[in-house]
């Protein structure tokens, strides 16, 4: 395998893009690097994958080592491999992403992370490496996700108002949504259970509370969001010549 030696001089890393939601604001978890390159800079929590380690395992390990975050569901998003993205040599990085409820987790920086802190996504400026680009790509993926399937209900309290749900979508989509249209769409999906309760102890007129129908949601994801296609049930098939002729 001598002719292949030139290929075996690369390294790869994992980078975790952890989006968090809290009180109407969409945030991303960043670390402040205590190691070169980019010492002192804010960066995504990421590091080299060990030679004998799977990618998914590495993503979890690195996240925990750098930020203390455990038991976070990480999903691979995309691999970034621009030739000069790392000053030490050719390093491609596999990006993993998650969307979590900030108040459920404790952040504890260690290893190469001097600090670990939530930053408002809209206010993130310069980052180490190509991390700004990676963050942007993952944010776009998240926007695409919420437009193509219901996402993020688990980020809300167990009982929530439609306004709270709308604020979550507005934070992700970075836009103000039309209230009536939003409610119509959301309710037509039949994913919410009207609790027949209203808010308590609020200064304004108490709003109606909903919870999320987890069973319907799982079914939804399994079958496809809206382009739900029924498999044919041969037994039930009856000749419908007339209808067929009209449609043909």
Q: Per CB under 8 A, which region of 23-31, 38-46, 114-122, 238-246 contacts its own copies?
A: 238-246
Pick the binder of its own copies from 158, 175, 200, 242 (CB under 8 A).
Answer: 175
The answer to whether residues 162 and 156 touch, using CB atoms and an 8 Å cutoff, is: no
Please tell me the total number of residues recorded for the chain in this structure: 248
In whole angstroms, the minimum distance from the beta carbon of 107 to its own copies comes to 26
CA angle 220, 223, 226 (to 5 degrees): 70
The H or E element spanning position 105 is none
CB nearer to its own copies: pick between 108 and 228? 228
Number of residues that bind its own copies (CB under 8 A): 69
Per-residue x/- marks for its own copies, 45-84, CB under 8 A?
A: ---xx-xxxxx--------------------x-xxxxxx-
Tell the residue number behind the tokens 């569901």, with chain if given: 73
Residue 242 interacts with its own copies (CB under 8 A): yes or no: no
Shortest approach of its own copies to residue 103 CB, angstroms?
25
Question: In whole angstroms, what is the distance from residue 102 CA to residue 127 CA?
Answer: 21
> 6-26: buried (b, 16+ CB within 10 Å) or exposed (e) per residue?
eeeeeebbbbbbbbbbeeeeb
Among 26-34, 111-119, 125-133, 182-190, which window interacts with its own copies (CB under 8 A)?
Answer: 182-190
- The answer to whether 65 and 47 are in contact (CB under 8 A) is yes
Minimum distance of its own copies from residue 119's CB (angstroms)? 25
């Amino acid at each position: 395998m001598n002719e292949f030696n030139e290929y075996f001089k690369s390294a790869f890393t994992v980078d975790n893009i952890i989006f968090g939601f809290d009180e109407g604001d969409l945030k991303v978890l960043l670390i402040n690097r205590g190691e070169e390159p980019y010492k002192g800079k804010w960066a995504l929590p990421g590091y080299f994958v060990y030679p004998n380690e799977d990618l998914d395992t590495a993503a979890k390990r690195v996240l925990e080592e750098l930020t203390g975050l455990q038991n976070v569901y990480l999903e691979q998003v995309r691999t970034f491999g621009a030739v000069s993205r790392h000053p030490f040599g050719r390093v491609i990085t596999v990006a993993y992403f998650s969307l979590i409820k900030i108040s459920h987790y404790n952040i504890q920086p260690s290893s190469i992370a001097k600090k670990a802190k939530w930053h408002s996504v809209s206010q993130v400026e310069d980052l180490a490496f190509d991390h700004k680009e990676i963050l942007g790509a993952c944010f776009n993926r998240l926007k695409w996700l919420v437009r193509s399937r219901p996402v993020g209900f688990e980020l809300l309290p167990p009982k929530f108002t439609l306004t709270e749900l709308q604020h979550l979508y507005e934070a992700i989509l970075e836009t103000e949504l039309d209230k009536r249209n939003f409610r119509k769409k959301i309710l037509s999906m039949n994913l919410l259970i009207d609790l027949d309760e209203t808010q308590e102890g609020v200064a304004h007129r108490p709003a109606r509370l909903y919870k999320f129908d987890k069973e319907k949601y799982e079914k939804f994801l399994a079958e496809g969001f809206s382009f739900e296609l029924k498999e044919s049930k041969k037994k039930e098939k009856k000749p419908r010549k007339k209808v067929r002729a009209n449609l043909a």
